[in-house]
Amino acid sequence: MTKKNETFRKAGVGRRGFIAGSAAAAGVAALGFPSITGRAAAPLKVGVYGGYFKDSFDEHIFPDFTKKSGIAIESVAEPTGEAWLVQLEQSAKAGVAPADVSMISQVAMLKGQSSKLWAGLDMAKIPNSKNLLPQFVHKYPDGTVDGIGAVAWFITLVTNTDVYPKAPESWAEMWKPEHKDRIGLLALASNSFLLEITATTFFGGTKVLDTEEGIVKVLGKIAELKPNVKLWYRDEGQFQQALQAGEIPMGQYYHDVAGLAAADGFPVRTTFPKEGGLSDSGCWALSRASKEAENAHRFIDYMCQPAIQATMSRKIGTAPTVDRKILDLSDEEFGAVSSDIPPIIPRYDIYQTKGDWLDQKWTEMVVGG
Amino acid sequence: MRRGRPAGPAGYIPAIWPALMLCVFFVIPFAIMAAISFFHRVEGGFYEPGFEFANYARFFTTFFARILGFSLFVSGLAAVVCVILGFPFTFMLTRLGRRRQVLWLVFLLSVLSLSEVIIGFSWSMLLSRTAGLSNLFVVAGLMDQPASWSPGFAALMMGLCYLAFPYTVLILYPPLSRLDPQLPEAARMLGASPLRTFFTVVVPAQRGAIVATLIMVFVFTLGAYLLPQLLGRPQHWTLSVMITDQAILQSNLPFSAAMAMFLMLVSLALVGLTYAIGGERREP
């Protein structure tokens, strides 16, 4: 088995869905043959999380954009976590952009800033950005905008309805001893955001995470969960199957995908606990190596329209990045993708400033006896 | 074919192409990895060129020593199990008729084509409480209620051995099919039972092949990083899992490169040791 194959295989399992080998292969093909479609009408390459997200965008969003703007889109399945960040960075060093615009997580946005991976965006060319909620405009420290909110989603408490007839009310439910060996959690500090969830549930808010002593205290509380955790998952496909089957009947998961599974008839429910769901989001960011900046701006502007945000909430199940007041979503439609309970907001800063220390402490907590 | 060294410089020409390929696809990437393992990690970013031992220093802790020890142990055990099962299997395979041998080999090759992802997911399903094999045992009256056998050490071992077994057989097949049938025949004629023949004649005659196979399977399973995640609990995450986490999820390439270098050096040393101890009489 070659290392190369392993990397590609790994790229096939990511944050947004268990991508079939073909999707990963598509990403590889896009990397390997960037100009196979010819220079004349270079399509705008847009990276979206592979699997469910990419399929949904290909079906509901990209064709309409091409019809209205005349700009062809080549969607690229991007792996999640920071794998895509590493690929973008390495390619940009060689002057290549495997995707012009990519959907990038908040932690990855900060890491990309350190090497000036993201091209500055010209807000004059993105007039619809006025619709965005302020937290969805991402900036370099000097104020240059480098990311525009693409999608927002929630991590919530999910349960199998066959095993748990009654919905849990609080994140604290996970700590109860009767759930021994029954819980699935995300494996890393920076994708599970369990520090924020635990801090909000037991320590009165995420302020406790300001100091290293505070973080260690919260980690100690998370360690109490370990006997209950059957699976620390890196790939959501791993957990979703077990959740649907009732093998691992409780855990943290993505509100949108869980809702979709429930709609498909699986015995799965997603609950916003009283402490709030965890709100995470991805930005559209432009690689500095991209030669399609003009079209990229038009694409990002298009995506900021209230009508498109509403379409995404209805068809893809993501929470809107624009103010709810200018959307035509009904209460029911809004409730399906979001909640009126104030969300838990991740402390992205600690993954940036204390990243390696935190990673080490986290791994020792999870792996250690 | 002529053996020995080529007569003049022209004799080396056919070797240029493979040497070039080896250089481009192996030596250069390896050199890049070695260099990056000494680069400076920019916290909250990527890395910048430099020369420091910080990445190795982070690795030299009891925490990582324990993970390294477990990785070597689990791969070693998988190699031993695979050879114990694979050697008699391959021996019997080589005694079969040509057609049946080919069928078996094709089957094993097709198992080898399965990726770690498929194998991991299949085994976690097979060992699950809700849809797994234990349900069959309950139906057969062997168990009272279905049980969950994954994740855990046994599940991980099962997955690793499943992954490596076809590989084991394919490595053992050439030497065993070349084994002179007169050797076991002579032993039988002298009155040894089939079992005694197998253990006192066939196994010692194949000692070199067995050691070589142990090493190959050991190295092969050392690289597995998805099975420990899918079938193991956190304490079963091997160094390969940690390397992947650092490279792919933490964008800490210098640290992952340092761990990979160290893992490679340790396994090379172990391979050398095994070879020195067990493989003096390589060719029968």
- Residues of chain A positioned with their CB less than 8 A from the CB of B245: 188, 363
Tell me whether residues B63 and A364 touch, CB distance under 8 A.
yes
Of A13, A111, A247, the CB nearest to B148: A247
Tell me whether residues B45 and A111 touch, CB distance under 8 A.
yes
- Residues of chain B positioned with their CB less than 8 A from the CB of A89: 46, 251
Q: How confident is the model at residue B82 (pLDDT cuts 50, 70, 90)?
A: very high
Rounded Cα gap, residues B192 and A322, in angstroms? 84
pTM here is 0.81
Q: How confident is the model at residue B66 (pLDDT cuts 50, 70, 90)?
A: very high
Q: Is the pLDDT confidence value at A257 over 50? A: yes
Q: How confident is the model at residue A16 (pLDDT cuts 50, 70, 90)?
A: very low
- Residues of chain A positioned with their CB less than 8 A from the CB of B117: 9, 12-13
CA distance B95 to chain A (A): 29
- Residues of chain B positioned with their CB less than 8 A from the CB of A245: 128, 130-131
Q: Is CATH 3.40.190.10 what the domain over A3-152+280-337 is classified as, yes or no?
A: yes
CATH topology for the A156-278+344-367 domain = D-Maltodextrin-Binding Protein; domain 2 (3.40.190)
Rounded Cα gap, residues A138 and A283, in angstroms? 8
Please give the residue of chain A at the shortest CA–CA distance from B243. A7
pLDDT tens per residue, range A215-231: 999 999 999 999 999 99
Based on the number of CB atoms within 10 Å of its own CB, is A4 exposed (0-12), middle (13-18) or buried (19 or more)?
exposed
Strand partners of residue A118: A287
Do strands B47-48 and B40-41 pair parallel, antiparallel, or not at all (unpaired)? Answer: antiparallel
ipTM of the complex: 0.83
Bigger pLDDT: A285 or B42?
A: A285
Q: How confident is the model at residue A37 (pLDDT cuts 50, 70, 90)?
A: very low
Domain locations in chain A as residue ranges: 3-152+280-337, 156-278+344-367
CA distance B248 to chain A (A): 4
The answer to whether the A3-152+280-337 and A156-278+344-367 domains have the same CATH topology is yes
Tell me whether residues B44 and A353 touch, CB distance under 8 A.
yes
| Average per-residue pLDDT for chain A | 85
Q: Is the pLDDT confidence value at A26 over 60? A: no
Q: How confident is the model at residue A41 (pLDDT cuts 50, 70, 90)?
A: low
**What pLDDT was estimated at residue A205?**
92
Q: How confident is the model at residue A107 (pLDDT cuts 50, 70, 90)?
A: confident
| Average per-residue pLDDT for chain B | 88
Q: In angstroms, how far is CA A111 from the centroid of its own chain?
A: 15
Whether A69 and A308 have beta carbons less than 8 Å apart is answered as no
Tell me whether residues B251 and A86 touch, CB distance under 8 A.
yes
CA distance A141 to chain B (A): 14
Q: Is the pLDDT confidence value at A18 over 70? A: no
CA distance A175 to chain B (A): 18
DSSP track, A83-140: HHHHHHHHHHHTT--S-SEEEEEHHHHHHHHTTT-BPPP-GGG-GGGGGB-GGGEEE-
pLDDT tens per residue, range A46-75: 999 877 778 889 999 999 999 999 999 999
- Residues of chain A positioned with their CB less than 8 A from the CB of B45: 111, 113-115
Bigger pLDDT: B148 or A38?
A: B148
Tell me the CATH number for domain B65-238+258-278.
Answer: 1.10.3720.10
**Is residue B141 helix, strand or coil?**
coil
